[in-house]
Amino acid sequence: MKNLALSLLLVALPVFFYAQSNFNRIMYDSTRTGLISDIITVDSVSYAALFPHSKSYGGHNFSVVGIDNSGNMVWEKEKFADDSINSSYLRCNILRRGENKYYCFAKTSGSPSGTGKFSLIIMDTNFNNKYIKDTIGFYDYIGEIQEYTNGDFYFVGQLYDSVNQKLVANVVKTDSIGNVIWNKVVNQVAYSAILHIIIASDGNLIASGRHGGDNYEQWHVAKMDTSGNVLWQRTYGRSGRYPDGNITGLLELPDGNYLLSGSYPAVSIDNGYEFYYDGCLRKISADGEQLWEKRLRTYSINLNSGKTYLENGICSIIISDGYIYVLGTENKEYLQWYNSYLMKMDFDGNILWKRVYYGENAYNCEQHLESFDRTPDGGFIMGGYGKYANIGYQPSQQPWIVKTDSLGVDGLTTASLPELNVDIDFPDTLYCGDTASCLLRLSGKSAPYQISFSTGQTIDNIFYPPVWMPKEIGLGEIAVISPQYNFATFTETEATIVGGEWEQCIHKPIQVVVPNRIGVQQITIEVRDFYGESKTITKEINVVGDCVSGIENIAEQSVSVYPNPASGSITIAGENIAGIEICNLLGEVVYEMLQCNGNNVISTENMPAGSYFVRVRMEDGKVVTKKIVVVK
């Protein structure tokens, strides 16, 4: 093995005071191809990874490898004797930790689309084989394995139904040494498969995968009891006949609901047979009802041809320290050129930050991080593979590992965190007492951000938009081209712009309350990030209109708004009132009254606690703006 890339980075953060060892390494071996299909933290200084690989004399095997805290492979333990695997195909996806043991599930013979031998492998705490059980029947796909509290195992995958001659989704339960207790078909639709299974907090099983196939798949989730009885099952996906693909991640959330990850077919590029995809997250209830859907989109542009593409996919998700972490891949400049990313989100699907990774060179053909785990120092360990022929590696496909700190800094692709910067593009002329649509530009270490104006307005909870695009594209109408030169047009009004003066810069329209005074004046704007870091800028604006310069006008004196703070209702009193509008601090209208009298009572029952602006339009066209606070 050659030590190709090693970065040691000491990161000082406002709330973290320890040194962290980070690295980004291609684990090159000139004698074989390989990948990291799963990686876990073993202790404070080492990690273990599943390593499916080719054999020098033909065929495949897989190993568990040990990785030290500098990214070196320090040991390797093949799981099968060389003469026990005589085929050219292998699947092994998940490495699990149990009580005083580790275990995994592998398909160790057969063709890519045919029956084979399926094995439960139990290892001791040093990853030495304790025993292998070869009696579990699947067909092609194998998914996750979970150990129940009593030591039984649950496996998921795909079974060939010989009676009806079709592939169906199944779940297998065995005892602690792999003897089959039951084997249940969960989904009878042809080509369906179960790829993930978790033990729910109520003791039941949640299994997920795909419903159907042959270029028409939907996400599929089933809840089962430990006897294999299906309690409910649901499908999810884009409306119509689209290839939604497989669910790539399944988690139970702290509120008892579930989170699913995968892809969303955004646009057809080949008459319905090939698609560009968005990454996709769906939250479903404990009963399987969809609660929300979030889509992640990445645009890329070929600077030579000017052609625009989009592609984003989620590989894995975990929950840690009260947040969701997402590992995915995205297209870069050319079709089939991929980098990987790590993203932090809250439980509502809002994005706090995103970091992008590549192995040695951003323009390697394909680079995929597929599995990750938290590390004792608060960072992340990630594993996958890349194809590196263009930088001289043969064989080209090699395993790739990345270790970061708690904010995703690996020392190579992300050597430092972005500085806190803010700017707002105001219109040339603003009208007093009005709200103006302005463009916010903001970057920093982590959302949510808060912006406060010297006028008293505050905008809270500013997150990164789930759309990323190069600065060469920009907001507005975007024409995406397929390999067959078919176009699809999208309009993006907000996005995270990459490659500009500020890396990963939020571009987002906001509504700013204009001061109720005319003339050229300065306002100060303070931005504060998730960690409490702040920055203040000053902007000069020009306010025009029929309002005052330094004192209240007569119309403003003639309007009363009370009580303030308000609880239950407010009264807006005055003569010659033509209309009333109440806006929140984002400029969104939460209440409007067009037929008014001298004493207007408005309920605040449906208004969340917080600050609001009351805009009173007089019959002569003047507008009076007053700020109120609603309490609960």
In the structure, what pLDDT confidence band is assigned to residue 270 with cuts at 50, 70 and 90? low
In the structure, what pLDDT confidence band is assigned to residue 558 with cuts at 50, 70 and 90? confident
d(CA 409, CA 16): 14
In the structure, what pLDDT confidence band is assigned to residue 550 with cuts at 50, 70 and 90? very low
Is the domain spanning 421-544 CATH 2.60.40.10? The answer is: yes
Please tell me which residue, 4 or 107, carries the higher pLDDT value.
107
Please tell me which residue, 119 or 244, carries the higher pLDDT value.
244
If you average pLDDT over every residue of the chain, what do you get? 85
Structure tokens at 25: 């390494």
In the structure, what pLDDT confidence band is assigned to residue 27 with cuts at 50, 70 and 90? confident
pLDDT on residue 295: 97
On whether the CB atoms of residues 308 and 481 are closer than 8 A, the answer is: yes
Residue 543 clears pLDDT 80, i.e. is over it: yes
pLDDT on residue 113: 46
pLDDT on residue 59: 67
Q: Tell me if the bond preceding 608 is cis, omega within 30° of 0.
A: no
pLDDT on residue 347: 97
Amino acid identity of residue 226, one-letter, is T
Q: Tell me if the bond preceding 448 is cis, omega within 30° of 0.
A: yes
Instruction: For tokens 């003897």, name the residue.
Output: 179
Interval 188-247: pLDDT, tens: 898 888 999 999 999 999 999 999 876 688 999 999 999 999 999 999 999 888 889 899
Instruction: For tokens 């449906």, name the residue.
Output: 606
Domains 421-544 and 554-630 share a fold: yes
| Per-domain residue ranges of the chain | 421-544, 554-630
On whether the CB atoms of residues 420 and 534 are closer than 8 A, the answer is: yes
pLDDT on residue 16: 34
Element at 556 (helix H, strand E): helix 554-557
pLDDT on residue 570: 93
Instruction: For tokens 């785990």, name the residue.
Output: 373
pLDDT on residue 456: 86
β pairing state of 495-498 and 467-470: parallel
Q: Which residues contact 517 (CB under 8 A, 6 or more apart)?
A: 432, 543, 547, 548, 549, 550
In the structure, what pLDDT confidence band is assigned to residue 131 with cuts at 50, 70 and 90? confident
Please tell me which residue, 249 or 269, carries the higher pLDDT value.
249
pLDDT on residue 82: 52
Q: Which one, of 12, 6, 24, lies nearest residue 380 by Cα?
A: 24
β pairing state of 216-224 and 205-213: antiparallel
On whether the CB atoms of residues 447 and 353 are closer than 8 A, the answer is: yes
Structure tokens at 255: 């509120």
Distance of CA 613 to the CA centre of its chain: 35
Q: CB 241: neighbour CB atoms within 10 A?
A: 11
d(CA 65, CA 27): 11
d(CA 459, CA 450): 6
Q: CB 56: neighbour CB atoms within 10 A?
A: 10
On whether the CB atoms of residues 75 and 102 are closer than 8 A, the answer is: no
d(CA 248, CA 239): 20
d(CA 197, CA 156): 7
Structure tokens at 149: 């509290």
Please tell me which residue, 590 or 29, carries the higher pLDDT value.
590
Mean pLDDT of 153-168: 87
On whether the CB atoms of residues 36 and 63 are closer than 8 A, the answer is: no
pLDDT on residue 518: 83
Structure tokens at 248: 């790539």
Residue 136 clears pLDDT 70, i.e. is over it: no
Residue 554 clears pLDDT 50, i.e. is over it: no
Q: Which residues contact 557 (CB under 8 A, 6 or more apart)?
A: none
Q: Which one, of 178, 145, 138, 180, lies nearest residue 161 by Cα?
A: 138
d(CA 297, CA 276): 10
In the structure, what pLDDT confidence band is assigned to residue 1 with cuts at 50, 70 and 90? very low
Measured in degrees and rounded to the nearest 5, phi and psi for residue 556 equal: -65, -35
pLDDT on residue 143: 84
DSSP 8-state secondary structure symbol assigned to residue 417: P
Residue 432 clears pLDDT 60, i.e. is over it: yes
Interval 301-311: pLDDT, tens: 887 777 888 89
Which architecture does CATH list for 554-630? Sandwich (2.60)
pLDDT-above-70 percentage for the chain: 86
Whole-Å CA distances, 285 to 135, 197, 217: 36, 17, 22
On whether the CB atoms of residues 138 and 91 are closer than 8 A, the answer is: no
d(CA 235, CA 216): 12
On whether the CB atoms of residues 263 and 280 are closer than 8 A, the answer is: yes
Residue 391 clears pLDDT 80, i.e. is over it: no
DSSP 8-state secondary structure symbol assigned to residue 389: G
d(CA 285, CA 231): 14
Please tell me which residue, 109 or 489, carries the higher pLDDT value.
489
On whether the CB atoms of residues 161 and 197 are closer than 8 A, the answer is: no
In the structure, what pLDDT confidence band is assigned to residue 500 with cuts at 50, 70 and 90? confident
pLDDT on residue 334: 56
